[in-house]
């Protein structure tokens, strides 16, 4: 059923959208095997799912959207529709009923739509932005140097293989993970 | 012009098809900036381009096709058409005039077609197959352990995030890069 909207077996990297106190957006990995589920940590997506029992997802291939939504909520300007919530240039949207059990939300299809389809060659720069984003969301929590090395490794692939949009996404990513002034100054700083 | 057929700014990972003594297939990276060009090493793609002055490309998202064509030619069974050459499930095809200059073939658009469009969520397993394939084509030439480590790193992403097709592609990849019997036995082997 979800296949026609772009979710296939494996982990589908999509933008999760939950609407409660505000419109909350975050990249999430929807796991499709015998069932459909998503791991939700202690974040707003989880809190809003708990409140409403509803999770929307958008299938989209815009690297800038993945980077921004990994670090903050997309403002309404990024949407082409809010009912259902559809980010500009998203390929499809799905509305799920979401039941929290332990670390997972188990998802049941309610509704969905395909807005457009893509014909674009594989771009390693795009893929590298996705990998860099995964590492960056961990890096901001622990500042581990091995994660920063990986982020920079993918940055070199973005530089070589990416287009304008991938380069813009990576530049944004590096801004988001910059140490805050307090961190940069270190414990002895003023 | 090539944008409507799926090639955008940056390096486009596509399947190159050249037809001379036989139908030769190989993953190639088509660079789109002010012009369109592709780096061709001493391989059959280069030889056949030299003979015919023509390069076809297919935009496709099938991980198995990338792996097989990295190591051998796709047999005719893999094609849904031979005139123009279109691999089953390819999204589009383009015919280029190709002029060799140094390490590059400079490409001019002749003709093209879009056969289908995609609506599929980003899958890190698919992306990992592409990265593993890039490293694998180097690894078979020099057997460097750091390349094998990278291939195995991406293998773990395929295992966790990929679908059946990605897992099949990675399994094939590992078969292609297995040391031959002579190599496995080592210099002292019988």
pLDDT tens string B22-50? 999 999 999 999 999 999 988 899 999 99
Question: Could you give the ipTM of this predicted complex?
Answer: 0.94
Contact at CB, A14 and B122, closer than 8 angstroms: yes
Q: How many CB atoms lie within 10 A of CB B23?
A: 18
E strand map for chain B = 10-19, 23-32, 36-39, 54-59, 79-82, 85-87, 92-101, 104-114
Q: Stretch B50-69: mean pLDDT, rounded?
A: 98
Q: What is the pLDDT of residue A182?
A: 62
B170 CB neighbour count, 10 Å cutoff: 27
CB proximity B123 to A under 8 Å: yes
The shortest CB-CB distance from B123 to any of A11, A161, A166 is to A11
Would the pLDDT of A147 be above 50? yes
Asked if the Cβ–Cβ distance from A130 to B127 is below 8 Å, we say yes
Report, in angstroms and rounded to the nearest whole number, the Rg of chain A calculated over CA atoms. 17
3-state percent breakdown (helix, strand, coil) of chain A, nearest 5: 40, 30, 25
- pLDDT tens digits, A110-140: 999 999 999 999 999 999 999 999 999 999 9
Distance CA B155, CA A188 (A): 43
Closest residue in B to A58 (Cα–Cα): B121
For the segment A3-30, the average pLDDT, to the nearest whole number, is 97
B182 near A CB under 8 A: no
Greatest CA separation found in chain A? 57
- For residue B75, the cross-strand partners are none
Rg of chain B over Cα atoms, rounded to whole angstroms, equals 17
Contact B130 A114 (CB under 8 A): no
Q: Please provide the average confidence, as pLDDT, over all residues in chain A.
A: 95
User: pLDDT averaged over chain B?
Assistant: 95
B94: nearest CA in chain A?
A121
Per-residue pLDDT band for B188 (boundaries 50, 70, 90) equals low
CA distance B4 to A155: 27
Confidence of residue A189 (pLDDT cuts 50, 70, 90): very low
| CA dist., res. B28 & res. B38, Å (int) | 7
Helix (H) / strand (E) containing B51: helix B44-52
Mean pLDDT across B59-70: 98
Lookup: tokens for A11: 């982990």
Write out pLDDT tens, residues B102-140. Answer: 999 999 999 999 999 999 999 999 999 999 999 999 999
B11 and A125 within 8 Å at the Cβ level: the answer is: yes
If we measure between CA atoms, which residue out of B17, B5, B26, B92 comes closest to residue B49? B17
**For residues A141 and B72, what is the distance between their CA atoms, to the nearest angstrom?**
44
Put simply, the answer to whether B118 touches A119 (Cβ < 8 Å) is yes
Three-class SS of residue B80? strand
Give pLDDT, residue B185. 64
Looking at the complex, does the CB of residue B158 fall below 8 Å from at least one CB of chain A? no
Residues of B within 8 A of A14 (CB-CB) are 121-122
Q: Which of residues 91-110 of A touch B (CB under 8 A)?
A: 91-92
Find how far residue B58's CA is from the centre of its chain. 10
**Residues A44-73 pLDDT 10s:** 999 999 999 999 999 999 999 999 999 999
């Amino acid at each position: 059923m979800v296949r026609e909207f772009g979710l296939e077996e494996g982990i589908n990297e999509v933008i999760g959208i939950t609407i409660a106190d505000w419109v909350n957006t975050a990249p999430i990995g929807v796991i499709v095997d015998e069932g459909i589920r998503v791991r939700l940590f202690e974040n707003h997506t989880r809190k809003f799912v708990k409140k409403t029992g509803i999770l929307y997802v958008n299938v989209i291939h815009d690297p800038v959207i993945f980077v921004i939504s990994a670090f903050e909520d997309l403002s309404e300007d990024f949407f082409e529709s809010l009912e259902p919530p559809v980010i500009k240039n998203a390929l499809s949207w799905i509305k799920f009923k979401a039941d929290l059990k332990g670390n997972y939300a188990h998802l049941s299809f309610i509704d969905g739509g395909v807005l457009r389809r893509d014909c674009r060659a594989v771009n390693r720069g795009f893929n590298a932005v996705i990998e860099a984003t995964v590492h960056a969301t961990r890096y901001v929590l622990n500042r581990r140097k091995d994660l920063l090395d990986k982020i920079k490794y993918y940055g070199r692939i973005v530089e070589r293989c990416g287009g304008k949009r991938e380069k813009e996404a990576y530049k944004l990513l590096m801004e988001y993970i910059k140490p805050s002034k307090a961190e940069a100054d270190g414990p002895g700083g003023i």
